[in-house]
Amino acid sequence: MAIVSKSELIKLQKTLGTDEAIAKKFKVTRQAIHQLRNKYGIDSLKAKNPERNAKIVAMYKAGKTGTEIANKFDLSVAQTYRVIMLASGKKADKRKKASKKKK
């Protein structure tokens, strides 16, 4: 027996956004919601990321600031710059702690 119907799941995805948020509402696992989405043939919201990312890069190239873009797409400023950096072919700055060798 399904936890939610296909139409309910589509509505919940639009309002709550993530499988995890939907799962919390029904007190089930995130994986259960993921499997229902697959069963019903509903794409994840992440499927729209390439389109969103292209818009982010275009806005940045047009002179918008990272903060303005982040606010428009409801992202953090750090995530916005990560999208811009990855689109430009640069790797995001991942600082590693220097390891100390024991003598």
pTM for the complete prediction?
0.53
C-alpha angle 93-87-70 in degrees, rounded to nearest 5: 75
In the chain, the amino acid numbered 92 is: A
Percent of the chain with pLDDT over 90: 50
Measured distance CA(91)–CA(1) in Å, rounded: 45
pLDDT in tens, 86-98: 888 876 555 555 5
Measured distance CA(96)–CA(83) in Å, rounded: 21
3-state secondary structure of 51: helix
